Structure 1
Amino acid sequence: MIDIVRIDESFSRWNELLALILSSFAYMEGVIDPPSSATRLTLAALAYKARDEIAFIAVEGERLVGCIFCRPEPESLYVGKFAVSPSHQGKGIGAKLLAVAEEVAREKSLPRLRLETRIELTGNHATFTRWGFVKTAETSHPGFTRTTTIEMQKPLA
């Protein structure tokens, strides 16, 4: 059974959470350019991010198997550091985490979810499309002349 739990001030499993994010993003190494910002996360930065944003973990028993960080924006809820353990992908955990993000957006009267995914990660694009997201923009990281990121949004009914 998977439980989705909000990270609050009592959370102390920062090492496990960082390891989860890094293992979930590891497949991107050598595939995306520039490298993922996840590779620059520290324990302190992760703890700050969780305090500054609305974060949830997916837990199976005592094991952390997923996470999602949500940041309210004027017209959307931004979803970032959305990760599912490689050993648990394809089991509906990502969909459960997104459902919680949708609840947060509705509570805050925000009409959509928004996320960014790298141009090279076509599998992610397909998954997010299946989950109701549509491509809304292409952007470039500073110093790049080519598209590096795709913005996708999911309207909420």
Structure 2
Amino acid sequence: MTDIILQRLDDSFDRWDELLALILASFAYMNGRIDPPSSALSLTSQSLREKAKNEIAYVAFEDNRLAGCTFCRPEPDSLYIGKLAVLPAAQGKGIGRRLLRLAERTARERGLGALRLETRVELTGNHTTFANWGFQKTAEARHAGFDRTTSIEMRKILI
């Protein structure tokens, strides 16, 4: 069994190209499936570096290889979970769940009573996974220029 190590991104992190590749590989299954395309496609190594400065980011390593990540942003009553990504080859090992547990701890430390995320309406498998992890659908939204629902909001209330 390989070791999974989780850590918060800090100024010592220098593997931005690898992090970008991880996110793009993790989100690749969405290409051609969701409309509009994922915002992950517009990320760069530099924009990830900036995102990490403005948000709380965690990465998961499996045998010194980046295997997962998430970016969290405090909001008035919740912690927003964004870019939760796990390499396809590392999925099914509990990495996503462990990253979410870190987010839960972060939310509690900040006095926030919920986690919030958004997922695309077409990604019903994600809806099921998040529901299994304790999230409930709370809203529907549409991207600018669309006259149909393009994403759903899900929340997990922290007890």
Under TM normalisation by the shorter chain, which class is it?
over 0.9
Identical pairs, percent: 64
| Superposition CA RMSD, Å | 0.4
2:101 aligned residue: 99
2:133 aligned residue: 131
Q: Deviations over 1:15-74 (max 9, x none)?
A: 000000000000000000000000000111110001100000000121000001000000
Calculate the TM-score normalised by the size of structure 2. Answer: 0.98
Alpha-carbon distance between aligned partners in 2 of 1:24 and 1:4, rounded to the nearest angstrom = 18
Alignment of 1:35-46 (within 5 A): 35-46=37-48
AA matched with 2:143:
H
1:155 aligned residue: 157
Q: How many residues align?
A: 157
Runs (5+) with no aligned partner, structure 2: none
Alignment of 1:71-86 (within 5 A): 71-86=73-88
Alpha-carbon distance between aligned partners in 1 of 2:32 and 2:130, rounded to the nearest angstrom = 22
Alpha-carbon distance between aligned partners in 1 of 2:108 and 2:4, rounded to the nearest angstrom = 23
How much does 1:5 deviate?
0.5
Alpha-carbon distance between aligned partners in 2 of 1:57 and 1:50, rounded to the nearest angstrom = 11
Alpha-carbon distance between aligned partners in 1 of 2:5 and 2:110, rounded to the nearest angstrom = 23
AA matched with 1:38:
A
Alpha-carbon distance between aligned partners in 1 of 2:131 and 2:49, rounded to the nearest angstrom = 30
Calculate the TM-score normalised by the size of structure 1. Answer: 0.99
How much does 1:112 deviate?
0.2
AA matched with 2:46:
A
Superposed structure 1 runs of 4+ greater than 3 Å apart: none
AA matched with 1:107:
E
Alpha-carbon distance between aligned partners in 2 of 1:69 and 1:138, rounded to the nearest angstrom = 22
Q: Does the alignment pair 1:62 with 2:64?
A: yes
Q: Does the alignment pair 1:20 with 2:29?
A: no
